[in-house]
Amino acid sequence: MATPAPFPPNEKERLESLLALNQLDTPGEERFDRITRMAQRLLKMPIVLVSLVDAKRVWFKSNQGVDASEISRAVSFCGYAILQEEMMIVPDATKDHRFADNIMVTGPPFIRFFAGQPIKSPQNFNVGTFCLIDTKPREISEEDIFNIKDLAYWVEKELISERLGLAQRELIQQLNNAERKALLDPLTRLWNRDGITQVLKKQINFSKKTEKIFAIAILDIDYFKKINDTYGHPAGDKVLAEVSRRIRRASRDTDAVGRMGGEEFIIVMPDVDSKLAGEVCARILGQFQEHYFNVGTVRIPIQASIGCCLCGKDNGWDETEAIKKADKALYQAKANGRNQFVMD
CATH architecture of 166-343: 2-Layer Sandwich (3.30)
| pLDDT reported for residue 290 | 64
Q: Residue range 312-319: average pLDDT?
A: 68
Do the domains spanning 11-159 and 166-343 agree at the CATH topology level?
A: no
pTM: 0.88
High-pLDDT (> 70) share of the chain, % = 97
Give the chain's length: 344
3-state secondary structure of 263: coil
Identify the pLDDT of residue 301.
84
Write down the domain spans for the chain: 11-159, 166-343
CATH architecture classification, 11-159: 2-Layer Sandwich (3.30)
pLDDT digits (tens, 9 = 90+) for 176-221: 989 999 999 999 999 999 999 999 999 998 888 888 889 999 999 9
Contact present, 183 and 21 (Cβ < 8 Å): no
Q: Residue 4: pLDDT band by 50, 70, 90 thresholds?
A: confident
DSSP assignments along 114-154, one per residue: EEEEEEEPTTS-EEEEEEEEESS-----HHHHHHHHHHHHH
pLDDT tens-place string over residues 139-162: 999 999 999 999 999 999 999 888
Active site residues: 263
What pLDDT score does 163 carry?
83
